[in-house]
Amino acid sequence: MLEELMQINWSLIAPIIVIQLILMIVAIIDLVRIEETNGPKWLWAIIIVFVNVLGPILYFILGRRQ
Amino acid sequence: MQWSVIFKKELLENWRNFKWIWVPIVFILFGIMDPITTYYMPKIIDAVGGLPEGAQINIPQPPPEQALLMSINEYSSLGVLMIVLITMGIISGEKKSGVAELILSRPVSFTNYITAKWASSILLILVSFITGMMFSWYYVNLLFGDLSLSQVFGAIFIYGFWLILVVSITMLISTLFKIPGLVGFISVLIVIFIHMLTSIFRHILTYSPANLSSYVSAYLYTGEMTADMWSTIFVTLIGIVLLLTSSIFILRNREI
């Protein structure tokens, strides 16, 4: 297991993980602060946390109400 | 004076709804998606399986120029769609919610209103595009071989004009219709239409803005800016100015 972890090329993967984390955190902060969303809030929370990369982006495009 | 107030208001709004964070990230993802999947394609095919025992797959790795072009192609499809989605509500959304009425009932000139909004979205899109290309360049250097930074900036410079044109088109449509969804749909149709016209009448429309993406590839391989490229950029600039002036004209002559 540890050996397999060492084999991964981290200079390739690290930026993607960081991007995913930033997106998720920002989307969650926004979800907490916003008053109303398109559709139920708890559903968006699940989408943001469990749908990789695409979830937070979908939330920003579709979920926010102007 | 007045212009900078509207401009700052737009920047602040884009900051408050986190556009300054997620739009660059989305552009980074578009930029790095293709180089990474291309690099790992043999491994992906291996893992998915379905090939007979002992089958040899030889997928040649593309040269760095072509790998960078993959990112540009990604921007010309998904990126343009993203730009339209982001900008479609820029004026129609404000008309719908009544904010535009509130702003334009004060002594604000239509020219200031349109150009400040345009400039703020251009700034957002270009910053995102440049960061995305920088990430793409990082991955191309890592996976496919050296590519000089000046070449990447040349590509950004040429292709940036096409993205600005897309923003301007969406902006004009946004002054015409109230429903953001409709604005997005029509804008995408227009962009596709420009591409189609250019590919059908390729021999006549050498200076069509849709050719900018093929000029990017020519530039990346030769490293030279030809007269055709400059003329196309000039035509694109004229198009942008025309689109902006007609947006101002339409907004002025229409009650909100």
Per-residue tens of pLDDT for chain B, all 256 residues: 789 998 999 999 899 888 999 999 999 999 998 898 888 887 777 777 777 777 777 778 889 999 999 999 999 999 999 999 999 888 888 877 777 777 777 778 889 999 999 999 999 999 999 999 999 999 999 889 888 999 999 999 999 999 999 999 999 999 998 888 899 999 999 999 999 999 998 888 888 999 898 899 999 998 888 888 999 999 999 999 999 999 999 988 875 5
User: How much is the pTM?
Assistant: 0.90
Average per-residue pLDDT for chain B: 89
CA distance B115 to B121: 10
| CB of B88 closer than 8 Å to CB of B182 | no
* Nearest residue in chain A measured CA to CA from B28: A19
The count of structural domains within chain A is 1
For B231, residues 6+ apart whose C-beta sits below 8 A from its C-beta are: B206, B207
For B165, residues 6+ apart whose C-beta sits below 8 A from its C-beta are: B209, B236, B239, B240, B243
Domain edges within chain B: 2-36+65-253
pLDDT of residue A1: 59
Contacts 24+ apart (CB under 8 A), B188-193: B188/B80, B188/B81, B188/B84, B191/B80, B191/B84, B191/B166
Taking CB atoms and an 8 Å limit, are A12 and B139 in contact across chains? Answer: yes
Give the closest residue to B234 by CA, choosing from B208, B197, B205. B208
- Chain A positions touching chain B (beta carbons under 8 Å): 11-12, 15-16, 19, 22-23, 26-27, 30, 53, 56-57, 60-61, 64, 66
SS3 A37: strand
ipTM above 0.90, yes or no: no
Task: Flag whether A46 is in a domain.
Answer: yes
Q: Say whether pLDDT at A61 is over 80.
A: yes
Provide the number of CB pairs (under 8 Å) joining chain A to chain B.
38
pLDDT of residue A6: 66
pLDDT of residue A2: 64
Q: Residue with structure tokens 């990474």?
A: B36
Exposure of B88 by Cβ count < 10 A (0-12 exposed, 13-18 middle, 19+ buried)? buried
Beta bridge partners of B54: none
| Predicted confidence (pLDDT) per residue in A30-50, tens digit | 999 888 888 888 999 999 999
B residues 62-81 closer than 8 Å to A (CB):
none
Least confident of A1-15, A51-65, B187-201: A1-15
pLDDT of residue A5: 63
| CB of B89 closer than 8 Å to CB of B181 | no
What residues in A contact B142, CB-CB < 8 Å? 11-12
| C-beta atoms surrounding B59 within 10 Å | 9
Taking CB atoms and an 8 Å limit, are B22 and A23 in contact across chains? Answer: yes
pLDDT of residue A12: 79
Interface test with A, best of B18, B142, B144 (most A CBs within 10 A): B18
| CB of B165 closer than 8 Å to CB of B240 | yes
Taking CB atoms and an 8 Å limit, are A30 and B97 in contact across chains? Answer: no
- Print the domain residue range for A28: 11-63
pLDDT of residue B108: 80
pLDDT of residue B239: 96
DSSP secondary structure string for all residues of B27-68:
HHHHHHHHHHHHHHHHHHHHHH--SPTT-----PPPPHHHHH
